[in-house]
Amino acid sequence: SLPTLAVVGATGAVGTVMCELLSARKNVWGEIRLLASARSAGRVVRCRGEELVVQELTEDAFDGVDVAMFDVPDEVSARWAPVAVRRGAIAVDNSGAFRMDRDVPLVVPEINPEQVRNRPKGIIANANCTTLAMIVAVAPLHREYGLRELVISSYQAVSGAGQAGVDALHTQLTKIAGDRVLGSRTGDVRQAVGDELGPFPAPLALNVVPWAGSAADGGWSSEEMKMRNESRKILGLPDLKVSATCVRVPVVTGHSIAVHAVFATEVAAEGAREVLRNAPGVIIVDDPAAGEFPMPIDAVGTDPSWVGRIRRALDDPRALDFFVTGDNLRKGAALNTAQIAELLSKELTR
């Protein structure tokens, strides 16, 4: 019989996309159990053609569960993933709670699927959405040319901060709509937006905010540290040089990253295109003359990382510059988790 799946955080921004994916992808699950906080328990959610009543997250809720996906904040995963494991499930965690734990593999199925079996704690981690969008393009280039350094800037959508982030942007846009002078004078957007900042430190409407996550040492943000540490772990390059600047932009869904990648050997744009053409999870959209570049408005709701603006650096024949956009709720979160869980389903149904 097919394994039982629990989705913890089923009513959140990522959980909602997870239910869509479970409805659309090949069915590899027996029972699907949706779990959430007491606040959301009792809600009815359509998943895989069934009307499922969301159950409260409790210890007993994991009884009989084979695979438990966690789409919840770090502290909720930190507390509940070990509970699921104690109750006999394998946990696939989409939070940051376990990613850098040496006994927890950080799996991207296109890159290191073999790592799912290396799970001494019974927990498998899913990478951060910004890392994921980028790494599916960087990994095949690394295999071909030998990666030495990444200098990256992100353009992150508000849904990365959950439904509260989406709500904040829409509220702000509604508040400022129609004022054609707004943005011309210092402070006018701040004043118009008022205290409707949602989970962000500054207004997103008509703005870009060079900050995502919390403060880390040395002036870096947690999001920038994640890009560095997770890229190193996924690629198996503990000394990879990474400098990231993470920026929030007024986009609902779709994280983008401008990448300057330095390799051990010389690269050519056409050679890199050929590598990326054959890379799983990547689609090349690179015809600037025709107005074709990777952009959130096109990538949203799709599975692959869209890669374009591929060009060799003018001043270093070993460096490549390119732009990536990926749906942060799909490959960046729900899709990668679903792909990991599907590998487990295969293992368990054997």
| Binding residue ranges for substrate | 156, 248
- Smallest gap, in angstroms, from Cβ of residue 299 to ligand 2RA? 15
By CB under 6 A, name the one of 160, 203, 254, 294 that touches ligand 2RA: 160
What DSSP string describes 101-166?
-TTS-B--TTT-GGGGG--TTSEEE---HHHHHHHHHHHHHHHHH-EEEEEEEEEE-GGGG-HHHH
Q: In this structure, are residues 241 and 297 in contact, taking their beta carbons and an 8 Å threshold?
A: no
Count of chain residues binding ligand 2RA (CB under 6 A): 8
Residue 128 binding ligand 2RA, by CB under 6 A: yes
Region from 20-28, 105-113, 123-131, 311-319 binding ligand 2RA, contact rule CB under 6 A: 123-131
Rg for the chain, CA atoms, rounded: 21
Nearer to ligand 2RA, 73 or 82 (CB): 73
Catalytic residue among 47, 142, 246, 255: 255
Note if 19 is an active site residue. Answer: no
Structure tokens that stand for 56 in this block? 């409260």
Give residues with Cβ within 8 angstroms of 84, minimum separation 6.
6, 8, 62, 65, 68, 70, 91
Residue 161 binding ligand 2RA, by CB under 6 A: yes
**Bridge partners of residue 282, in order along the sequence:** 305
By CB under 6 A, name the one of 129, 137, 138, 193 that touches ligand 2RA: 129
Residue 305 binding ligand 2RA, by CB under 6 A: no
Longest CA–CA span in the chain (Å) reads 64
- Smallest gap, in angstroms, from Cβ of residue 36 to ligand 2RA? 18
Which residues carry a binding-site annotation for phosphate?
Answer: 99
Residue 212 binding ligand 2RA, by CB under 6 A: yes
Residue 172 binding ligand 2RA, by CB under 6 A: no
Nearer to ligand 2RA, 75 or 287 (CB): 75
Q: Is 311 exposed, middle or buried (0-12, 13-18, 19+ CB in 10 A)?
A: middle
Nearest residue to 56 via CA among 38, 82, 83 = 38
* Residue 235: C-alpha distances to residues 134, 141, 147, 157 (Å): 12, 11, 9, 25
By CB under 6 A, name the one of 115, 130, 172, 336 that touches ligand 2RA: 130
Catalytic residues: 129, 255
What residues make contact with ligand 2RA under the rule CB under 6 A?
A: 128-130, 156, 160-161, 212, 223
